[in-house]
Each structure stands twice: as structure tokens, then as C-alpha cells.
């Protein structure tokens, strides 16, 4: 059941980010709804061929915890690329910002994202851009990881960290400051731990309702974030949380990547295990 680009009717724009614009689309032949991400045009031909190579990755990935990529469309010269994805009707976790989540809700969310990360890490795929804006929800109470693989290439090409503070905000200390004293070659090669940091930060944000490295309402800028991540203490779960939750967050947000738990270790953490 291949979907062709010509089968699709655009319904509306769902949003746009650094990488392009996402549309809600309907397949005329069977009324199925999808999300279609139109990747921005890139000038650089080396980058373009890399994009085409790496867009193969999402097609290989098949997990209930990762947004399914159905097709990748490209025009003959390859300068226009669109990705046809599973539609997630409740949008990103960013829309939950400021809402109060209970520990039980957080545990359910935390477990699903972790299952997705564990799946990707087992396939040796690093996401590199875990943040509320790349985690999508649907009304079946499912949460799935979006934008992997593709986001990795875009980071390289657009140097997001310089152009868009929102993205470097979730980067681990070792990625922000790879020259720092005490960062070993082993730390640098442990790229999976970078995803765990971003994940931990995202979970604290869901819990407290704002980006946890800065005072509430503070607009992030690159310098403040680097200072907070590299020289400050890692964020913690609030005092009133359970000990299991506090420990869970602590295991994600250790500054030394080698001390951070892996996705598979975190899946058997008491915060996720002693629930429901
Ligand atoms: P970045 O470029 O850093 O990834 P972003 O995640 O905000 O930023 P996009 O990935 O282009 O940008 O997505 C833009 C918006 O489109 C998202 O914020 C989300 O609201 C919506 N969106 C993306 N994918 C889907 C999807 N599969 N289903 C429903 N909405 C989606
Ligand atoms: Mg995104």
C-alpha cells in the first residue's frame, strides 16, 4: 500500500521548525490522515546526498514508541524532500507546558519515551535532539519520538546551536563543552548518554512546567544555558516529589556521561517499575 505524493491533499499547516513545515494531509484514495514534513531546500549538494542517504534510516525503524515514517518523497534532482509520517493528533509535549502532571502521568510518559530511546539506541541510532517539541502525543495516550535521523543531519547543516538557542538548551554538558577538563575520549564516544541528559531535562520540564535550567519566565540565551549546564548543578525534581522520582531524575542528569544510566537501565528503575 504505497502512498504517492499525488494522492495527498493538504488540509492545514501543523507547524514549522528549523527543518521545514509540517502539513496535515489526507490520502484521497482511502481518507487516511498523515503528517507531511516538507524539508527546507538546501543548496549544498554534499549535504543533499547525505540527506538522501540518511533518510533511509527512518524507514527501517518500526516501533510503537517512535513516530512511523511511511514514505519519503523527493523530486528527481533531490533538492526537495518530504517525509510522510504518522499523524499525532495532540501535537508536541510543548503544548503541555505549564500544566500540572501527576507522578503517575509522568511515569507513563517517561516510560514510553524511554522505550523509544532504548529501541533507537539498540539499533545504534542516536537522536541528538530530544526535547518537548520532538515528542508527540495522540488521543490514545501514546507518546512517540519524532524527528530522529533527519534531525541529526539538520543539526550539522544549520548549526542550530548558534542560530537557535531553543535547541542547544537540551544539550548535555559534554556536547556543549567538549573541550572541558575531565571530558575523556570515552565520554565523547558515549553519544547515547547525550540523549539521556536531554531526556532527563525534558522530564523535569514536564514536572515543573518550565525549562528547568533557568528561572521561570527567563528567556534562554546561549551563554546563560552553557553556564548553567557546564558550571551549575544539574536540575533536580522538586522537594515534594517521591524519592523514586527524585532518584530517577538524578540518574538521568549526572554531569559525567559515564555515570548516567542507560535507557535500558532506566527502564527497570523503581520509579517506573513500582507503578500501577
Ligand atoms: P525542529 O526543527 O527543531 O525539529 P520542530 O520540532 O518544532 O523543530 P518540526 O519537526 O518541523 O519542527 O515540526 C513542526 C511542528 O509540526 C511540531 O511542533 C508539531 O506541532 C507539528 N508536527 C510535526 N510532526 C507531526 C506529526 N507527525 N503529527 C502531528 N504534528 C506534527
Ligand atoms: Mg521537530
pLDDT of 100 higher than 70: yes
Q: What φ, ψ does residue 160 adopt, rounded to 5°? A: -50, -35
**Reported confidence tier of residue 181, pLDDT bands at 50, 70, 90:** low
Is the CB of residue 83 below 6 angstroms from any atom belonging to ligand 1?
no
Is pLDDT larger for residue 269 or for residue 54? 269
> What is the C-alpha separation between 222 and 85, in angstroms, rounded?
32
Distances (CA, A) of 79 to 25, 51, 226: 21, 10, 35
Measured by CA distance, the residue closest to atom 27 of ligand 1 is: 87
What's the distance, CA 57 to chain centroid? 16
| Average pLDDT score over residue span 61-79 | 83
| Average pLDDT score over residue span 110-122 | 96
Task: Using the atom order of ligand 1, give the atom closest to the CA of residue 37.
Answer: 11
pTM as predicted: 0.88
Measured by CA distance, the residue closest to atom 9 of ligand 1 is: 17
Is pLDDT larger for residue 131 or for residue 163? 131
Task: State yes or no: 37 annotated in a binding site.
Answer: yes
Is the CB of residue 18 below 6 angstroms from any atom belonging to ligand 1?
yes
Centre of ligand 1 from the C-alpha of residue 222, in Å: 22
Catalytic: 250?
A: no
pLDDT confidence of residue 105:
93
Is pLDDT larger for residue 62 or for residue 51? 62
Measured by CA distance, the residue closest to atom 25 of ligand 1 is: 35
Is pLDDT larger for residue 64 or for residue 59? 64
Residue-averaged pLDDT of the chain? 84
261: left (phi over 0), alpha (psi -120 to 50) or beta: beta
Residues 192, 15, 67, 24, Cα dihedral to 10°: -170
pLDDT confidence of residue 226:
85
Percent above pLDDT 90 for the chain: 50
| Average pLDDT score over residue span 153-162 | 45
Task: Using the atom order of ligand 1, give the atom closest to the CA of residue 20.
Answer: 11
Place of cell 535532539: 129
Amino acid at each position: 500500500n504505497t502512498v504517492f505524493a499525488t494522492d495527498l491533499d493538504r488540509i492545514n499547516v501543523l507547524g514549522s521548525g528549523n527543518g521545514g513545515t509540517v502539513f496535515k494531509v489526507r490520502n484521497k484514495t482511502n481518507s487516511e490522515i498523515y503528517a507531511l514534513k516538507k524539508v527546507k531546500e538546501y543548496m549544498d549538494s554534499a549535504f543533499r546526498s547525505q540527506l538522501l542517504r540518511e533518510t533511509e534510516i527512518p524507514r527501517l525503524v518500526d516501533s510503537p514508541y517512535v513516530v512511523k515514517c511511511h514514505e519519503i518523497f523527493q523530486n528527481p534532482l533531490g533538492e526537495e524532500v518530504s517525509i510522510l509520517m504518522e499523524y499525532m493528533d495532540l501535537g508536541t509535549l510543548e503544548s503541555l507546558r505549564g500544566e500540572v502532571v501527576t507522578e503517575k502521568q509522568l511515569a507513563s510518559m517517561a516510560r514510553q519515551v524511554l522505550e523509544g530511546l532504548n529501541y533507537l539506541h539498540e539499533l545504534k541510532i542516536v537522536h541528538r535532539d530530544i526535547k518537548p517539541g520532538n515528542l508527540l502525543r495522540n488521543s490514545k495516550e501514546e507518546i512517540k519520538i519524532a524527528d530522529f535521523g533527519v534531525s541529526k543531519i539538520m543539526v550539522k547543516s544549520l548549526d542550530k546551536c548558534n542560530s537557535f538557542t531553543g535547541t542547544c538548551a537540551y544539550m548535555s554538558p559534554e556536547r556543549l563543552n567538549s573541550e572541558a577538563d575531565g571530558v575523556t575520549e570515552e565520554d565523547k564516544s558515549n553519544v547515547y548518554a547525550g540523549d539521556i541528559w536531554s531526556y532527563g531535562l525534558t522530564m523535569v520540564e514536564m514536572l515543573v512546567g518550565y525549562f528547568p535550567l533557568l528561572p521561570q519566565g527567563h528567556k534562554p540565551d546561549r551563554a546563560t544555558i552553557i553556564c548553567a549546564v557546564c558550571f551549575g548543578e544539574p536540575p533536580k525534581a522538586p522537594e515534594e516529589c517521591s524519592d523514586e522520582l527524585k532518584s530517577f531524575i538524578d540518574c538521568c542528569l549526572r554531569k559525567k556521561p559515564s555515570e548516567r544510566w542507560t535507557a535500558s537501565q532506566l527502564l527497570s528503575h523503581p520509579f517506573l517499575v513500582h507503578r500501577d
